[in-house]
Amino acid sequence: MLLKPKPLISILALFIVTTGIWIASFISASANAPYESYNYNFWGEAVAQPHTFLYKKSFLGAGDKNSDTTLNFPKDMFLKGEKLYIADTGNSRILVTDFDGNVLNEYTCASDSSDTFKEPQGVFVTDEDHIYIADSGNSRLVELDEKGAFVREIGRPVTTLITDSQQYTPIKVVVDHAGRIYVIAYGINMGLIEFDKNGEFQGFMGATEVSVSMFTYIWKNYFSTKQQQERMATIVPTEYSNICVDKENFIYATINNLSGEDLASGADAIRRLNPTGVDVLRRLSNNKIIGDLDGYQNGWSSFCDVAVNDDGCYFVLDNNDGKIFAYDYDGNNLFVFGQIGIKEGNFQKPVAIALSEDEKKIFVLDNVLGNVMEFDITDYGELLLGAIRNNSIGNSEEATRLWNEVATYNSNNELAYIGLGKASMDAEDYKAAMEYFKLGNNRKYYSKALYYYRKEMMEKFFARGMLIIIIVIVTAICIKGFFAYKKWVGKVKCYMENH
């Protein structure tokens, strides 16, 4: 049964009763976390919230006494099952470990070849356990089978769009479910390089637009000198920094070389590309999807990697401030945590992020520390992601229960009210949905609920109105028929009396 929206007094009472419990748990969790957790509300304000993920451990770094293996400026990481595949760039190898840092495999070349890798910067593993390696120093992609044996090499794209004098350096690679291969190459700003499943070059996909701020445009055209205009003429499209593929074969791509002016003016720091290269990322939030919104004061975020779960939530890594930003399918900010620092659990230069398949662990690869950090989900985090999951599959009853618990933990979380509104929509309780969306400051969904509520009322009252009209018409016909019959009987009686 759906919990009806409470009046203000009830909400205040709930807040007072639960505040003590919430503060106690919040302080306890905060004591174990070398960073703050917060999210952005409708007004773009950072609001403190309970921790969703807490630092647990790190491994493979210089401080890992349980491992003889150290990483040397690693650049990428991929998670498959219970294994981590790490592009250990400085050591020119791909390292495979478990979640405790125990080395399971090491590839400096294919198992049946002596052709060694050279500073690989990207790694991807398919459902069939084939390993794709962006072998950057050798200007190629290498595919290994599930046993590490050589399958093929994909070299420089055959196209006139990349000149012979231009260095080809692949740095990231993903493969979709149809076998299409997408590559980011250093210095290539025409989009993702696409190969078909046979390794044949197909073209460029998802080219980024030239990013020019209004200030730059006005300065260039009206105030700059000829020499300045010539220098500014070299403005080119931005390059993608990392990519991942979701369950629907869409490509999430991050851009991390945007200026503060670009971000403030609404430039896209992350995209979701369909197979034709069109950005279809939903941006229904009142806030931009650019990381921290107060970049003018504290520095702008720089997205370097992204991971996505099956419910459409995506987790973006910022290597400027060492933070993880989580967003739901609509682009609402779920939570933010992480920090650059010297404490255990702080980052120096995070470069890659991976989400465990049960969504209970986040792993982050640090390029400078040369380690992997594990963050485990909290009770609050499980409630939050569980509520979103049940919303996405239409399980309104369970979603309502979980969102109510989220609101109990954190009464400032507007997403709880939005989630309750979605659950009410699924249960066709549109009036309740309107109240929840109003509390959550979500105008789009409020309008949607209002539309269905009005439609429901129209259908309800139209049916009643039609019934009343039919009754009136039938009654009128009966009355008219009765008097007509009575008149006819009178005429017949009169005729009989006269004859």
Query: Which amino acid would we find at residue 294?
Result: D
Residue 403 phi/psi, 5-degree rounding, is -65, -35
Nearest to 280 by CA among 315, 253, 247, 301: 253
Model confidence pLDDT, tens digit, residues 127-168? 999 999 999 999 999 999 999 999 999 999 999 988 888 999
| Euclidean distance between CA atoms 90 and 73, whole angstroms | 5
**Strand pairing report for 303-308 and 270-273:** unpaired
| Helices 414-426/430-439 angle, 10° precision | 170
For residue 106, give both structure tokens: 């090491």
Q: Which H/E stretch holds residue 184?
A: strand 181-185
Report in angstroms the alpha-carbon separations of 391 from 2, 244, 310, 403, 415: 13, 24, 13, 10, 12
Domains annotated on the chain, with CATH: 1-31+397-499 (no CATH), 48-377 (2.120.10.30)
Q: What pTM was computed for the model?
A: 0.80
Answer for the pair 301, 40: CB distance below 8 angstroms, yes or no.
no
Q: Is 291 left (phi over 0), alpha (psi -120 to 50) or beta?
A: left
For residue 115, give both structure tokens: 């052709």
Percent of all residues in the chain with a pLDDT value above 70, rounded to a whole number: 80
User: Comparing 27 with 57, which gets the higher pLDDT?
Assistant: 57
For residue 357, give both structure tokens: 């398949």
Model confidence pLDDT, tens digit, residues 212-261? 555 555 555 566 565 554 444 444 466 899 999 999 999 999 998 888 88
Answer for the pair 260, 241: CB distance below 8 angstroms, yes or no.
no
Percent of all residues in the chain with a pLDDT value above 90, rounded to a whole number: 58
Nearest to 310 by CA among 372, 263, 355: 355
Kindly tell me if the per-residue pLDDT of 171 is higher than 70.
Answer: yes
pLDDT of residue 468: 78
For residue 372, give both structure tokens: 């992997």
Q: Which of 102-111, 333-342, 407-416 has the lowest mean pLDDT?
A: 407-416
Residue 174 phi/psi, 5-degree rounding, is -140, 160
Answer for the pair 15, 413: CB distance below 8 angstroms, yes or no.
no
Tell me the residue ranges of DSSP E strands in 60-130: 76-80, 83-88, 93-97, 103-107, 122-125
Q: What is the mean pLDDT of the chain?
A: 85
pLDDT bracket for residue 15 (50, 70, 90): very low
Q: In what side-by-side order are the strands of the sheet with 270-273?
A: 242-245, 251-254, 270-273
Residue 37 phi/psi, 5-degree rounding, is -120, 140
Kindly tell me if the per-residue pLDDT of 304 is higher than 70.
Answer: yes
Query: Which amino acid would we find at residue 23?
Result: I
Kindly tell me if the per-residue pLDDT of 97 is higher than 80.
Answer: yes
Kindly tell me if the per-residue pLDDT of 14 is higher than 60.
Answer: no
Beta-bridge partner residues of 124: 132
pLDDT of residue 19: 45
Nearest to 37 by CA among 428, 327, 323, 461: 323
Report in angstroms the alpha-carbon separations of 438 from 142, 305, 450: 53, 34, 11
Q: Terminus-to-terminus CA distance in the chain, angstroms?
A: 77
DSSP 8-state assignment for residue 3: P
Kindly tell me if the per-residue pLDDT of 22 is higher than 50.
Answer: no
pLDDT bracket for residue 499 (50, 70, 90): low
